[in-house]
């Protein structure tokens, strides 16, 4: 019998940390995987230490996979609205040894049966590199992708 796993994604743009944490708890997420290259934020509660502390209070583990973040030139393309460039740059980045290693680690985490959610800034997963990470995970693990949207 095949076990169907869900892989969640969430973006925190326009959301409060409490709203994101509530959504993760409602989805029974066990591990939040931060796929930002730079786990810092001007938004309260979303810098690495603050986010990890808030998750810990809810019994959710935090894992930062920096090598699955978008490189600087990709982030610049995204800010300029050049999504084709963002995704082209990101596809190249995924071929680096560091990114490949983290993709394999993420596969193992999902196959472990834990409920995993990918986090990045962009609210719309179609405008974010995390969509590509989720697609790769679905291909490699058979997981079903579920995009979460917190209240704004």
Low-confidence ranges of the chain (pLDDT < 50): 1
Rounded distance, CA 107 to CA 20, Å? 24
Rounded distance, CA 136 to CA 23, Å? 24
- pTM of the full structure: 0.95
C-beta separation of 146 from 125 below 8 A:
no
**103-to-27, 69, 126 alpha-carbon distances in Å:** 23, 11, 20
In the chain the domains, ranked by start, together with CATH numbers, are 6-148 (3.40.1010)
Interval 109-144: pLDDT, tens = 999 999 999 999 999 999 999 999 999 999 999 999
């Amino acid at each position: 019998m095949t076990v169907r796993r869900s892989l969640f994604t969430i973006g925190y743009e326009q959301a409060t940390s409490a709203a994101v944490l509530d959504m993760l708890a409602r989805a029974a997420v066990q591990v939040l995987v931060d796929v930002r290259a730079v786990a810092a934020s001007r938004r309260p509660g979303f810098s690495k230490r603050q986010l990890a502390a808030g998750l810990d209070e809810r019994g959710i583990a935090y894992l930062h996979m920096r090598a699955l973040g978008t490189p600087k030139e990709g982030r610049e393309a995204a800010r300029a609205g050049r999504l084709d460039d963002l995704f082209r740059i990101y596809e190249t980045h995924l071929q680096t040894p560091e990114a490949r290693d983290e993709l394999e680690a993420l596969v193992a985490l999902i196959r472990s049966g834990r409920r995993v959610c990918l986090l990045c800034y962009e609210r719309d997963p179609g405008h974010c590199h995390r969509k590509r990470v989720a697609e790769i995970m679905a291909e490699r693990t058979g997981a079903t992708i579920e995009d979460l949207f917190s209240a704004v």
